[in-house]
Amino acid sequence: MKRTVTHLADGRELIYFDRRDDADRSAVDTRELPPRPPASELRYDPLLDEWVAVAGHRQSRTFLPPANECPLCPSAPGRATEIPSPEYDVAVFENRFPSFSFHTGDYEQVGGLSEVRPGLGRCEVVCFTSEHGSSFSALSPEQVDLVLQAWADRTAELAALPGVEQVFCFENRGAEIGITLSHPHGQIYAYPYVTPRTRQMLASAERYQERTGSNLFADVLAAERKAETRVVASNDHWTAFVPAAARWPFEVHVYLNRQVPDLNALDDEERAAFGPLYTDVLRRLDGLFGVPMPYVAAWHQAPVRTGRDLSYLHLELFSIRRAPQKLKYLAGSESAMGAFVNDVLPEEAARLLRAQQIR
């Protein structure tokens, strides 16, 4: 892998990841860009013991442009984009409209019981391919391996930044999910706190370990592999299964078959084995209703400084589509109370996914 670091016209960092050592990444960003916005402000919610980012500058971010105006495609004569090179393998750059950054502004306290502080951190965009009409499911095993190397590289670098407590790699796919750009891409958030979901999972894992002496995630994986009924796909290194208490109509968790804290800990064989299994699962999802399945794919990695011995790298993949013309919306129970009601039996979801004929 060749790694090339350069900068965009407004100073944001751009990193190319290439399979070829002779890849030329000397193209320069010729655009005139406005100054970078200040970091969001974080406001503390004392009722839930959580931080909420308020980022008003994100209201002006690019929203579903036509393909010939896509900012993630390679630059071409007369059309400069976020990626100056006329072609690329994988490209990662600092988000122009970040939820977190190190460019601070002025922040005033709002009174009451809420504290305000700068939303320090970093947000990056990961372009999986230069092909606008492609998708993650269509990537070759070699391309998936390169994406994994890019994720691991960014996880290590972002975790080393001052104040970063957790690094989150994810992909939102489909207009139904709320994407603003249709080009195949994901994002990485370097949070200045440990996220609520991770805190809750690690608290459960800690209680479980105190009670049983075992790792909760490892035991969940072992139980699903033994039961088999919810396993969708597996190989020597990875297992994909529908969790027994799935919240979403179609939800698949992909676990490494050994405990590691983050993507940076994967070895060459584990990286190579991930792509064929994961793209198989994605194609099964797309085959369910004959239309591209909208989804969120979220990597759960260990926080930077806490819970690393309890954490277990895994991917959570879920879709809001429950039938060909029906979406699951978060209604009163889910949105207000956080109490999920799933319309699809997890065992049936797993059976339907296994039954797909993949080409």
Angle among Cα 111, 112, 113 to the nearest 5 degrees reads: 115
Other Cβ atoms closer than 10 A to 114: 14
Contact 344, 326 (CB under 8 A): no
Q: What are the φ and ψ backbone dihedral angles of 343, each rounded to 5 degrees?
A: -90, -10
- Measured CA to CA, the distance from residue 44 to residue 112 in angstroms comes to 11
Is beta strand 250-256 parallel, antiparallel or unpaired with respect to 314-319?
Answer: antiparallel
Distances (CA, A) of 332 to 93, 122, 246, 249, 338: 37, 33, 18, 17, 9
DSSP string for 264-322: GG--HHHHHHHHHHHHHHHHHHHHHHSSPPPEEEEEE---SSSSTTT---EEEEEESEE
User: Exposed, middle or buried, 236 (CB in 10 Å: 0-12/13-18/19+)?
Assistant: exposed
Query: Has 183 been annotated as catalytic?
Result: no
Locus of tokens 């944001």: 12
- Please state, in angstroms and rounded to a whole number, the distance separating the CA atoms of residues 99 and 119: 7
First to last CA, the chain: 29
Which is catalytic among the residues 103, 132, 183, 185? 185
**Using alpha carbons only, what angle is made at residue 320 by residues 65 and 342, rounded to the nearest 5 degrees?**
165
Residues recognised as catalytic: 185
